[in-house]
Chains A and B, each alone.
Chain A
Amino acid sequence: MSLEIERKKENDIMILQMSGVLDISTVELLQNSINHLGEIKKVICDFENIRFVDSTGVGGIASVIRACRKNEITIKINNILPEVFEVLDILGLPEIFGEETFEVKQV
C-alpha cells in the first residue's frame, strides 16, 4: 500500500494528482506535498484515485488544509470517491472546513 503524488503547476494553481491509500504509512507524503509552494494561490487535490483513508489520513488532510489557509492559499479536494467521503463526513471535515472544500466524485 502506498501513496503517489504527482504535482502539476498551472499558473498560480498547483494540482496534486494523488493515488493510493492515505493512512499512517503514507500521511507524511501528503503533508510534504505542500511544502515550498512559493507563489501558488490555490491548491487542488485530486482524490479520484484515493481508495482508502483512515483516521490518521483524515488528520493529515486536516493539517494540510490548515497549513494552506494559514498561508492564505485556497485549497479544494476534488473527485472524492463516495466511500472515502463517507469517512471524511463521519469525522465532520465538511462541517469543520466548509462544505465547499470537498467535492464528491459523481458516479
Chain B
Amino acid sequence: MFNEFRQTQLLYRVCSLLIKAQQDNDEVFNQIVALLCQELRVTGSSIWIATHQGGIGQQRLAFFQAGEKLSYSLPNLDYQAAALVFEQGNGLVLHNIHNDENFHEAKRNDLWVTAYPLKNKSELIGVFCIWDNCNKRTHQERENFVSLVQKVGSELTNGLYNYKQYSQANHKRIVKELETARRIQFDLMPKELPVLQGISLGVRTIPANEVGGDYLDIFLTNSKHLGIAIGDVMGKGIPAALWMAMTKVAMRTAAKDDTQPHIAVSQVNSVLFPDLSRQGIFVTLLYALYDPYNKTLLFSNAGHLPPLLFRSKTQKVEPLQLKGAYIGGVENKIYQISGVRLQKGDIVLFYTDGLIEALNSAQKQLGVEKVAELLNSNALYDASQIIDRLIVDLGQFTGDYHQTDDITLAVLKVEE
C-alpha cells in the first residue's frame, strides 16, 4: 500500500511540521493528524499530551476525523483508548474493539486502533492514536501499517518533547520546577486504597498551583489494621515535596509492625528532628490506626488539625482533639495517644488546612463549622461519594477564586 519512498516523504513532512511546533504553535499538531489521515486514508487520528494539572491527566492536543458521518462517536472511543495507554503505559493494537471490555460503547466490530505511547526515556509524555476500518486492509498491510505508526510515533515523541520544553522555557524555569514538585507529590500520594471489610474509604488531593506540601498515606499494617497518616510540610515547591517523601518513608517504617500511633509519631519526630530543626522547617503529622475488628480508632497528633468525627447516632460532628507539637519542634518528645470507638454510620474526616482556609472572592474562609455541616448533610453517601460532594461544595463556595494551598481529604466511614 505504501512504498518506502512515500513513507519517507510522509515522515519528512511530519518532521518539518514538528519543527514549527517548537515555536509554541500547537495548531501544528492538528495539521499533522489531518495530514496523516489524508495520506494514510485512515478514519481518524489524534495526539494526546500528559498533564499534571489537578493530578495526572490527559489533554487532547489534536484530533482529526475523516468523513463526516459515523454511526458511533470516534472522539469518545479515542478518549478511552488514550486513557488506557496513559493508565497502563503500554501501546495498544486492537483489531476488534467491540470485543474489548474497556470500550464501554463500542458498537462496531470493524474498527481497529493503534494507540502508540510517546515515551521520552521512561516518561510517558503523550499518546498517538490511529483509527481505521480493519476490513479495508490485509494482514500484511496492517503489519506494515503498525511499523509506520511506530516511525511516525517516534518522531512525534521528539517533537512533543521539544514542544513541551519550548513552551515550558517560555513560562520561565519556575513552571518546570512546579511540574517536578507536582509530579513528586502525585507519586507519593496513595494510588490504590486498601480494601477492608466493613468500611468505605476515600481520598483526594487537589494540588494548588504552587505545590503546598500536603502529605497523605493510607495502608494496611501487618495485622490488617488500617493506618492513615496525614500531614503538611511547611513551605512549598520542591523542598516541601522532598520533605513529604522523607516523612512518608519515616512514617511507613515506624508504623509497619502495628506500632501504637504515639510511638510511631514519636519515632518519626526522633528521626526527622535533627534535619528539620537545623533547616527551620516543620511537618505536621497525624497518624490514626483503625482496628476493624473492634472498630476502634487510635490516633496521635503532632500539630495537625484534629480530624472531624461524625456520629451517626446523634448526627453531631466533633473534632478529635489531641494536642502535640509539630514534628521538628521538640527533640525526643513522647507524643500522646487517644482513641474512640466507632459505630455503624460514623464518619471520620481527615483534612489539611487548605480545606478550611479556602477563600472565596470576598476573602471569606470556608471554615471548620461549614465543613462539619457539610459532613452531616452528606453523611448518607459512602466515603468516596462524600469526598466528591465536599469538593463540589467547596468549589461552589470558592467559585472562580484561585486556590492558594493544597487541599487534601481522607474519609473513613464505618459501613457495617
Contact = CB atoms under 8 A, between A and B. Distances in A.
Nearest to A23: B404
Contacts of B329: 62, 91-93, 95-96
B306 interface: yes
Task: For chain A, give the interface size range.
Answer: 10 to 19
B236 A24 contact: yes
A56 B306 contact: no
Contact of B234 (A59, A89, A93): A59
B280 interface: yes
Nearest to B302: A92
A3 interface: no
B235 A59 contact: yes
A101 interface: no
Given A55-B353, A59-B280, A92 B324 contact: yes
B21 interface: no
Contacts, number: 55
Contact of B280 (A55, A62, A90): A62
A29 B219 CA distance: 41
Contacts of B381: none
Given A54-B353, A54-B405, A95-B325, A90 B305 contact: yes
A1 B353 CA distance: 18
B330 interface: yes
A65 to B, nearest CB: 11
A50 interface: no
A59 B323 contact: no
Contacts of B357: 54
Given A54-B353, A54-B357, A58-B234, A91 B280 contact: no
Interface in A20-61: 24, 54-56, 58-59
Contact of A63 (B280, B284, B323, B330): B280
Given A55-B232, A63-B280, A95-B330, A90 B323 contact: yes
B303 A91 contact: yes
Contacts of B281: 59
Q: Select the residue from A55, A66, A91 with max chain B CB neighbours within 10 A.
A: A55
29 contacts: A1-B363, A24-B236, A54-B357, A55-B232, A55-B234, A55-B284, A55-B353, A56-B234, A56-B236, A58-B234, A59-B235, A59-B281, A59-B282, A62-B282, A63-B280, A66-B280, A89-B323, A90-B303, A90-B305, A91-B284, A91-B329, A92-B302, A92-B324, A92-B329, A93-B325, A93-B329, A95-B323, A95-B329, A95-B330
Interface of A: 1, 24, 54-56, 58-59, 62-63, 66, 89-93, 95-96
Interface of B: 232, 234-236, 280-282, 284, 302-306, 323-326, 329-330, 353, 357, 363, 405
